[in-house]
Amino acid sequence: HPDDNERIWQGLLDGTIPVIATDHAPHTLEEKDQPYPKSPSGLPAVENSLALLLNEVNGGRCSLQQVVRWMCEAPADVWKIHNKGRIQEGYDADLVLVDLTREHTVRNAEQVTKSGWSPWDGETLTGLPVRTLVGGVTVFNDGEFNEEFRGAEATFRQ
């Protein structure tokens, strides 16, 4: 609902909502087509979440620094994830490089997750993650995955 979206944006911008995260529920359309309550909740969002926010940066709704805070720093702070969330000495070299000018149309056929669809199918976004490093190792580069690399479990402080 548009009013809900505006309230969420208001909460993000005024600091009431400190974190943007997704549970990423990669259910197939066949699973989602079941009648309630058999149809699972949630939607596949993690694959497109950063590009959606970069599009908002390009539209002037928020800054890149705010996106970094919401998606990197704040989650690491809230869940006390050791050595994550910042580019800083002593922190893991986990980075996402973005191209703020690259346009990309979200297509169901191009989704990598097992769901095979996106609620943003057909949307053209400006701004795209182009390279991902985990622990300083490139794991994604311009559409290609490093299939030899697997991540490790994050350490949470109690």
Positions marked catalytic: 23
Distance CA 19, CA 53 (A): 13
From residue 31, give the alpha-carbon distance in Å to each of 37, 38, 41, 43, 101. Answer: 11, 8, 10, 11, 36
Q: Which amino acid is at 67?
A: V
Distance CA 118, CA 108 (A): 6
Q: What is the dihedral of CA 8, 84, 96, 52, to 10 degrees?
A: -10
Give me the long-range contacts of 32-35 (CB less than 8 A, separation at least 24).
none
From residue 6, give the alpha-carbon distance in Å to each of 3, 21, 50, 64. Answer: 5, 17, 19, 19
To which H or E segment does residue 52 belong?
A: helix 46-58
